[in-house]
Amino acid sequence: MERTAMLRSLPAEAVEEILSAAGPTADCPVHFVELRHLGGALARTADNAVGHQDARFALWIVGVGAPDAFTAMNVYADELLQRIRPWSTGGRYLNFMAAQDTGVSDVRAAYDEAGYRRLRSVKTRFDPDNLFRLNHNIPPEEHPMSDDKLQLLIDHAAIADALHRYTAGLDHGDADLLASSLTEDAMVDLTPATNKIGLDFPVLKPRDTVVGALIPAVGPLDTSHVISNIRATVHGDTAHVNCYATAQHYLPQEGPKPDRTRHALMMNRYDADLTRDGNAWRISRLTIDNAWFEGDETVLLPGD
């Protein structure tokens, strides 16, 4: 167990703190607490990445033992490092860092900011995949995501949200939420799906007609939609989307009752066009086809 800190000075107060923790009368579970005097050649300006050349002393805490002894040792080291914190530079001496000090923030504390950036640049050039990492590792430089890629991720999330608003509006009978997913001139065509199960349902357009027809038809049912396999292609302010929508329907108030088995379970495929509207996306066209059906189609008839 090794712990370390770099000290900018060693006044009498700091000496007293160290002696109270590691002096002749202290209850000290580690094997030694050592101060090393720095300066000299170490402090001279040089073209290298040696960190904290302005520090005056290095504190080194070392303990050796079986793993179950390390808990007490680390608690002791934590307390001592906290006590000498007023005189610490915040840095660490790399040679005195042990295996538990291999996190990114731990290793970074062993270098000055400029030196650390320089080493990351070298690592990026010669080891961009960070193959040599089982050490006090300096990772390659992170390449920030381009604005275009970031915007694409934002758009994909907003497009998924439009589909979720559409189905959540149906599930909760929420006309405003359903309307928020649609453009004013939106068209919803359920006929590819409804024709397959023997139902006659018209193409719905515009938004007010869609909301006015679907909320009374689906809203009262105990229904739940699950959207999955969303694939979106974005072209500027428009997008084309394909996804799956699995929808389970029970008659009103019957969904939670285990003795009710009459239901309509559909696995539908959505084909949709969407339009950007500020920070949101809205569905301008939605065509719904059915891949398979299970149950009683009459559950879907309004007023049944």
Per-residue pLDDT tens digits for 162-196: 999 999 999 999 999 999 999 999 999 999 999 99
Q: How far apart, in Å, are the Cα atoms of 78 and each of 71, 82, 84, 231?
A: 11, 6, 10, 51
pLDDT class for 249, splitting at 50, 70, 90? Answer: very high
Percent of the chain whose predicted confidence (pLDDT) is above 70: 99
**Model pLDDT for residues 234-248, shown as the tens digit of each residue:** 999 999 999 999 999
The pLDDT value recorded for residue 48 is 85
Domain 147-300 has CATH 2.60.40.420: no
Per residue in 215-231, pLDDT (tens digit) is: 999 999 999 999 999 99
* Predicted confidence (pLDDT) per residue in 19-51, tens digit: 999 999 999 999 999 999 998 888 888 888 888
Q: Is 278 left (phi over 0), alpha (psi -120 to 50) or beta?
A: left
- Residues 83-92, mean pLDDT to the nearest whole number: 93
303: confidence class by pLDDT, cuts 50, 70, 90:
low
pLDDT at position 145 is 72
Whole-number Å distance between alpha carbons of 91 and 56: 12
For the chain, the structural domain boundaries read 2-126, 147-300
Question: What is the phi/psi pair of residue 261, to 5°?
Answer: -115, -5
Residue 106 banded pLDDT, cuts 50, 70, 90: confident
Neighbouring CB atoms inside 10 A of 217's CB total 16
- Looking at residue 99, its pLDDT comes to 78
Q: Residue 269: is its pLDDT beyond 60?
A: yes
Q: How confident is the model at residue 53 (pLDDT cuts 50, 70, 90)?
A: confident
Distance, CA of 31 to CA of 276 (rounded, Å)? 66
The domain over range 2-126 is classified in CATH as 3.40.50.720: no
